[in-house]
Chain A
Amino acid sequence: MLTADNLTVAYGRKTVVHGVSLSLDAATGAPAAGAQGGVALIGESGSGKTTIARALLGLVKPSSGTVRFADQDIHRLRRTARTDYRSRVQPVFQDGSEALNPRMTVGTSLREALRLRSDAGPTVDALLEAVGLDPQLAARHPHQLSGGQRQRVVIARALAVDPELLILDEPTSALDVTVQARVLDLLEELRTTAGLRYLLITHNLAVVPRLCDTVHVLFAGRVVESGPATEVLTSPAHPYTAALRDAIPRLGTPDAADTRSSAPPARLERSDAQTAATGCAFRLRCPAALDRCTTEAPTLRPLTDHREVACHHPHGPA
């Protein structure tokens, strides 16, 4: 069980994550039938989602709040306990060309990870096959691979230490759609074959339902909405979630699209930040901001049994 409790992270004087709490089950048996067991963190650049991932991985220290794994604060672990944590929670970062050492062959990268296991573990060939790659690629350098192949290597490296939980930070957004679909297939399959749980971090809502059943929507470092994925995505309560959902590129012909050339007059894009310093941070972009939104910051409160939202005027659940 990985939990973040009231997590706050600041870089210098700038606080980028404000009191975020979330929890993830890791390896408590297979998820219930039909459930994915995954949790998604959704937000755009600047929402603090990557910082949360880094705090969960122990790469940045929170300025307050805690990250606990198996009831231990991961930022205060002793050496052996830290090694244990490292082998149970692994990241998959966005860009395979960045996440792999350009001077190492694929095989060397994987062997480096395998060496950290206490037991013998699988071979490099087996790892590559597990992610659907030809073992001959072990001799290649990252720049000799395609984007999809690189991302598979990154996943293989994470699997090398036999983790329970993968933290996926935009795992497919640097890839072509077709490649993206195949990498998602792979992740779906590994969930059962390798017994993995996922924390998925993305700005694209469309990839969420395949891997996750719980979502947290982040805006400006705060959770603005959370709940079961299907409910939140089909009937968003927070206007920001609705905006994210509506922005997903959908298939449709120009003639069918009523938006064409009759788009509402967008507001002049202001040069200042799109987040408000007082009141609700989203109010500058909100289509239905009230007077109350300028003065009082909404807090996360229950909407239904499973859902929470931080908004003064949420859309009611359908």
Chain B
Amino acid sequence: MTPPRSSLTVTDLKVRAGEGEDARLLASLPHLDVAAGTCVAIVGESGSGKSTTLHAMLGLTDGLAVSGRIMVGDTDVVTAPEKALTTLRGSRVALVSQSPQSSLNPTMRLGTLMRRVLARHGIRGAVARQRADDALRDVMLDPELLRRYPHQISGGQAQRFAIALAVALRADVVLADEPTSALDVTVQAAVLQLLDRLRAEHGIALVLVSHDLAVVSRIADHIVVMRHGHVVESGPAADVLGAPAADYTRELLAAVPTLGE
């Protein structure tokens, strides 16, 4: 494999709501480097700023003040014009949300949807068909599903489809926002495994946001723990899980329910 290149670099990121004196800090991330083929997890409770951070990486921060730099390749998401961001989203950076079913247009068959998305990024005809087929096989979905409407598939299948879209577009960076918390446990395990495999096979830089350390512990190389908008702890997964420096990280670890084995 080629030496890991940085797919996503965040420097001095601060996201604020409101202006001037009233401004409230929603999230701050001093530094983050996500190399191709690695997985970084951002862990925290609701209100910790983890999702805000993720949305900032997509440039989806309407009405919020963002400062710092978020480099995807040589594009700075913070300063890039909307048009550049539109191209970036999807082709370079893809989002896998908590409930993809609600973000899929309910009136469109999955195949149509896939075709439209590819066409928007200039991929058409036989190439597009080939890509779609390959991507579906990659995520273990039966191509027959393309004939269905979003409400005719299960939550796990919808999540796989969202991942397939990212694969078909050859995204370098995949941002996953609580991708499994709406799923049954067995489906959850399978989707995590899938994300992990694609990260390795396609050299995808994966950013995984979750409230549950256990969910991310098996696939993250690096873990960032956030609370009230600030980074509490950040380091290699083995260190954060094995020798947590912050009390809050220990609290999160203790909260993971176990069978008491």
Least CB separation from A210: chain B residue: B257
Q: Which of B122-166 contact A (CB under 8 A)?
A: 137, 140-142, 144-145, 148, 153, 155-157, 160
Contact A206 B193 (CB under 8 A): no
User: Would A251 and B255 be within 8 Å (CB), given that A176-B46, A205-B185 are in contact?
Assistant: no
A233 within 8 A of B: yes
Task: Compute how far the CA of A221 lies from the CA of B51 in the bound complex, rounded to whole angstroms.
Answer: 37
Residues of B within 8 A of A267 (CB): 140
Stretch from B83-91, B167-175, B214-222 at the A interface: B214-222
B248 to chain A minimum Cβ distance, whole angstroms, is 9
Contact A253 B237 (CB under 8 A): yes
Stretch from A30-38, A123-131, A177-185, A304-312 at the B interface: A177-185
A254 within 8 A of B: yes
Contact A260 B219 (CB under 8 A): yes
Least CB separation from A263: chain B residue: B193
Task: Compute how far the CA of A147 lies from the CA of B45 in the bound complex, rounded to whole angstroms.
Answer: 11
Contact A178 B185 (CB under 8 A): no
User: Would A184 and B257 be within 8 Å (CB), given that A44-B184, A44-B186, A176-B45 are in contact?
Assistant: yes
Question: B182-221 CB contact bits vs A (8 Å, 1 = yes)?
Answer: 0011111110111011001000000000011111011111
Task: Compute how far the CA of A234 lies from the CA of B258 in the bound complex, rounded to whole angstroms.
Answer: 12
A35 to chain B minimum Cβ distance, whole angstroms, is 15
Question: A243-283 CB contact bits vs B (8 Å, 1 = yes)?
Answer: 11111111111110101110100111111000000000000
Task: Compute how far the CA of A180 lies from the CA of B184 in the bound complex, rounded to whole angstroms.
Answer: 17
A207 to chain B minimum Cβ distance, whole angstroms, is 5
Contact A244 B46 (CB under 8 A): no
Question: DSSP majority for the B interface?
Answer: helix
10 closest A-B pairs (Cβ-Cβ)?
A206-B257, A249-B214, A44-B184, A181-B255, A247-B189, A247-B185, A176-B211, A176-B45, A247-B186, A178-B255
Contact A254 B219 (CB under 8 A): yes
Residues of A within 8 A of B188 (CB): 247, 249
B67 to chain A minimum Cβ distance, whole angstroms, is 28
Task: Compute how far the CA of A246 lies from the CA of B192 in the bound complex, rounded to whole angstroms.
Answer: 13
Residues of A within 8 A of B247 (CB): none
Please tell me the size bucket of the interface on A: 35 or more
Task: Compute how far the CA of A270 lies from the CA of B157 in the bound complex, rounded to whole angstroms.
Answer: 9
Question: A194-209 CB contact bits vs B (8 Å, 1 = yes)?
Answer: 0000000001111101
Contact A271 B259 (CB under 8 A): no
Least CB separation from A243: chain B residue: B186
Residues of A within 8 A of B260 (CB): 209
Residue of A146, A204, A210, A254 ringed by the most chain B CB atoms within 10 A: A254
Question: B14-49 CB contact bits vs A (8 Å, 1 = yes)?
Answer: 000000000000000000000000000000011100
Contact B196 A260 (CB under 8 A): yes
Contact B144 A249 (CB under 8 A): no
B104 within 8 A of A: no
Contact B258 A269 (CB under 8 A): no
Residues of A within 8 A of B242 (CB): 253
Question: A162-178 CB contact bits vs B (8 Å, 1 = yes)?
Answer: 00000000000000111
Task: Compute how far the CA of A268 lies from the CA of B190 in the bound complex, rounded to whole angstroms.
Answer: 12
A16 to chain B minimum Cβ distance, whole angstroms, is 16
Contact A270 B211 (CB under 8 A): no
Among candidates B141, B189, B190, B241, residue contacting A251 with C-beta atoms closer than 8 Å: B241
A287 to chain B minimum Cβ distance, whole angstroms, is 12
Contact B238 A253 (CB under 8 A): yes
B101 to chain A minimum Cβ distance, whole angstroms, is 13
B1 within 8 A of A: no
A235 to chain B minimum Cβ distance, whole angstroms, is 11
A45 within 8 A of B: yes
Residues of A within 8 A of B232 (CB): none
B252 within 8 A of A: yes
Task: Compute how far the CA of A147 lies from the CA of B46 in the bound complex, rounded to whole angstroms.
Answer: 9
Residues of B within 8 A of A250 (CB): 214, 217-218, 258
Task: Compute how far the CA of A249 lies from the CA of B188 in the bound complex, rounded to whole angstroms.
Answer: 9
Residues of A within 8 A of B255 (CB): 177-178, 180-181
Contact A249 B215 (CB under 8 A): yes
Residue of A179, A248, A249, A268 ringed by the most chain B CB atoms within 10 A: A249
